[in-house]
Amino acid sequence: DTFVFTGAKNGVDRIKDFEVNLDHIKIKHKSVDDFDDLTIKGKSGNAIITYADTRIVLEDVGKGQLDAGDFLI
């Protein structure tokens, strides 16, 4: 699957079925030119991706499981 985020949503989105190395997150936002523009933290077994005023929570995915290959920017 590809989960697409366009613009700043000013909120929190949760993805409950993200599969590392299979699924992708596509981000189209003026503040994100590459993977290094994202902030990725881990909390309670979830990866939390932030940019602008948007936060994406990947449930049951560890921060260390993600890399640039999981994103389409």
pLDDT at 53: 86
pTM given for the model: 0.91
Give the neighbor-by-neighbor strand order of the sheet with 12-15: 12-15, 54-58, 46-51, 39-43
Which residues in 1-25 are b (16+ Cβ under 10 Å) and which e?
eebebeeeeeeeeebeebeeeeeeb
Q: What is the pLDDT, as a whole number, of residue 1?
A: 96
Kindly tell me the burial class for residue 65, based on how many C-beta atoms sit within 10 Å of its own C-beta (0-12, 13-18, 19 or more): middle
The chain-wide mean pLDDT, for the chain, equals 94
DSSP code of residue 70: G
Statement: residue 49 has pLDDT above 70: yes
pLDDT tens by residue, 22-48: 999 999 999 899 999 999 999 999 999
Model pLDDT, residue 9: 67
